[in-house]
Amino acid sequence: MITVLSGGVGAARLLRALSDVMDPSQITAVVNVGDDVVMHGLTICPDLDTIIYTLAGLNNDELGWGLSGETWRVMRELEALGGEAWFQLGDRDLATHLYRSQRLSEGATKTEVTMELASRLGVAARVLPVTNDSVATEFVTEHGRLSFQEYFVRHHHDVVVQAIEIVGAPEACATPEVLSALRDASRLIIAPSNPLISIDPILRIPGVREIVRERRDDVVAVSPLIGGQALKGPAARLLGELGYEVSTLGVVDFYEGLVGTWIIDEADTHLADEVRRRGVRVEVTTTIMAEADNAQRLAKVVLS
């Protein structure tokens, strides 16, 4: 059994490749819930949904999020009514949020609902929210305090960030399923997700960082930065704004004491010795997962 600390897209790509090269029922994804939001009364879990949709083969490649074959009739009607339509929710996607919200209102936990959704969509890997409690990533910015979706979607992550807060994390409990998935896995993997806003909100749930630290020798991390740039999203910019080096070295420093083996991209070969000097093993390979064979090669390195 392996356990993968996961954000959205970067993690979903790695999880899909891992599922291609090993028995997917032996994979557990422990997923960030700091981006979760209630909109129109519906509970939306963007990272959990990205992972489930991708593993089910239903992801929308053109958009990079959401479901394939999506339509937008509800959003258009909502806009015509003067409703809040800046956060796009497709017609197909809405079914997921309706299902989840109804089940939560009946008293089901986020963990139970996630397992139901994954199994109905034919996902063999185990997908777990890190906690059933509510946690919200917030940004202290030049425009004041912003919620995750205000920062990410409304402002297109194009504002200066002074600090990131994971509201509710210190009081939240990791689920028993998550704690045993972290303790019992033969290997822990940190996906190439945004360190500050996808992985940190997982590590900040009490108990999680401590287990990862104790198991450091079994922890393999894939850098989300390639040649100092993120393939998508604000990872590079945020590292710089929060005082880290804008490169794989900044990511390595961010995870100090938590990782035994780093997998870095060929574009960062020149950084390998510097990373080794920090007392970790380093593997250099192609880490861009756009093509399935490259992604599977990376998955095999992660497992080797």
- Write the CA distances from 240 to 55, 71, 248, 255, integer angstroms: 32, 37, 12, 15
Question: What residues numbered 17-46 form the site for ligand GDP, per CB under 6 A?
Answer: none
Q: Which of 5, 19, 47, 93 binds Ca ion (CB under 5 A)?
A: 47
State which residue, 11 or 125, has the beta carbon closest to ligand GDP.
11
User: Would you count residue 35 as binding Ca ion (CB under 5 A)?
Assistant: yes
- Cβ of residue 208: shortest distance to ligand GDP, in angstroms? 17
Q: Which of 123, 161, 174, 222 binds ligand GDP (CB under 6 A)?
A: 222
Torsion on CA atoms 19, 22, 25, 26, rounded to nearest 10: -120
- Please count the residues of this chain forming the interface with ligand GDP, following the rule CB under 6 A: 24
Q: Which H, E and C letters describe 46-80, residue by residue? A: HHHHHHHHHHCCCECCCCCCCECCCCCHHHHHHHH
- Near Ca ion by CB under 5 A, which window of 39-47, 94-102, 121-129, 275-283? 39-47
C-beta atoms surrounding 101 within 10 Å:
17
In the bound state, the residue with its beta carbon closest to Ca ion is 8
Length of the chain: 304
Question: String of b and e for 160-182 (b: at least 16 CB within 10 Å)?
Answer: ebeebebbbbeebebbebbbebb
Give SS3 for 302.
helix
Contact string 236-275 vs ligand GDP (x = CB under 6 A): ----------------------------------------
- Cβ of residue 230: shortest distance to ligand GDP, in angstroms? 4
User: Which of 34, 27, 28, 44 minimizes the C-alpha distance to 7?
Assistant: 34
Is 197 within 8 Å of 7 (Cβ atoms)? yes
User: Would you count residue 227 as binding ligand GDP (CB under 6 A)?
Assistant: no
- Near Ca ion by CB under 5 A, which window of 28-36, 101-109, 245-253, 256-264? 28-36
User: Would you count residue 230 as binding ligand GDP (CB under 6 A)?
Assistant: yes
Residues making contact with ligand GDP (CB under 6 A): 7-11, 13, 47, 50, 192-194, 198, 222, 224, 226, 230-233, 235, 287-290
